[in-house]
Amino acid sequence: METLLLGAGLLLGAYVLVYYNLVKAPPCGGIGSLRGRTAVVTGANSGIGKMTALELARRGARVVLACRSRERGEAAVFDLRQESGNNEVIFMALDLASLASVQAFATAFLSSEPRLDILIHNAGISSCGRTRETFNLLFRVNHVGPFLLTHLLLPLLKSCAPSRVVVVSSAAHRRGRLDFSRLDCPVVGWQQELRAYADSKLANVLFARELATQLEGTGVTCYAAHPGPVNSELFLRHLPGWLCPILRPLAWLVLRAPQGGAQTPLYCALQEGIEPLSGRYFANCRVEEVSPAARDDQAALRLWKATKKLAGLGPAEDDDDPDEEPQPQGPGAPSSLSTPYPEKTTVSGPFHSYPGSPDLSKLTRRRIQVKAEPSPD
């Protein structure tokens, strides 16, 4: 009996050490009041996104939940209004797998919202599920869609500077290896899905790095944020039904709750004094070094150009000709504007340029050294 009690005590002690050192997330501080500011959080109907939106709403921000499912999005709006006491929480339809939907969202948002202070790219998928597309669905949802959305909302972000863009990435970026000849190739099978997910997370880190370079001096800063090991629907939703009851209790013990996973994205969105660290990767509310592939500036610029093409913003550039205008593709263009989910977008109609909208290809190409200094306490 004594041996059993001793073993149980050792296990409990080990669990406490693991929990407080590896699982429990440090709380986010940052700006206390966000009254008068507007934030967009993608994929905010559940999990990390919902907890992120809840905290922003509690601090008084006007929060737009950009979600694919109208039913789940509007249910989340009801929950967040009740929990935060803030009625300035609204839903707008956004399907990141459809570039037409991204353009429609931007059209609706820019016509109805006078400002944008915080853009958090939280939405993502880890598996294609039963969906079969002619393009890389994981890369589209996790990287290309957010890239296009940032491009379309950038004029408003700049006019409201200082403003921030947060891209939720993952430690899985360390396993990513971008093959530029196959970025948009369809993904089949779980092994390819694991690789495509890691590649998309690497793309997130490189995107934040390059965006910081492109926007130097504009007052818009951007960050890649790793939420940590989180007990969310991202992976469990794609597991076989018989396996979920086995893994859910284990996940509850060793993974963070969504509220804990929201702390680092919130830190990047709200913490004062981290502007010099724009373009860096954060984990556990502090700056962290990334893999060599994730700090390759040439790869970041090459990915930027390739993503412009995939996003329908014109052909990939093989040179830095500042006079070349990107040519957005129309709604009838192949694959890049295909809509895998037959869901109505908020606003229909062709894509158009917005007055004062900058051409991202014209922004400075100067390379900057991202400062490798620790984040402030």
Q: In the annotation, is 197 catalytic?
A: yes
H/E/C letters for each residue in the chain?
CHHHHHHHHHHHHHHHHHHHHHHCCCCCCCCCCCCCCEEEEECCCCHHHHHHHHHHHHCCCEEEEEECCHHHHHHHHHHHHHHHCCCCEEEEECCCCCHHHHHHHHHHHHHHCCCCCEEEECCCCCCCCCCCCCCCHHHHHHHHHHHHHHHHHHHHHHHCCCEEEEEECCHHHHHCCCCCCCCCCCCCCHHHHHHHHHHHHHHHHHHHHHHHHHCCCCCEEEEEEECCCECCHHHHCCCCCCCHHHHHHHHHHHCECHHHHCHHHHHHHHCCCCHHHCCCEEECCEECCCCHHHHCHHHHHHHHHHHHHHCCCCCCCCCCCCCCCCCCCCCCCCHHHCCCCCCCCCCCCCCCCCCCCCCHHHCCCCCCCCCCCCCCC
197, 223, 267, 281: the catalytic one is 197
Tell me the catalytic residues. Answer: 197
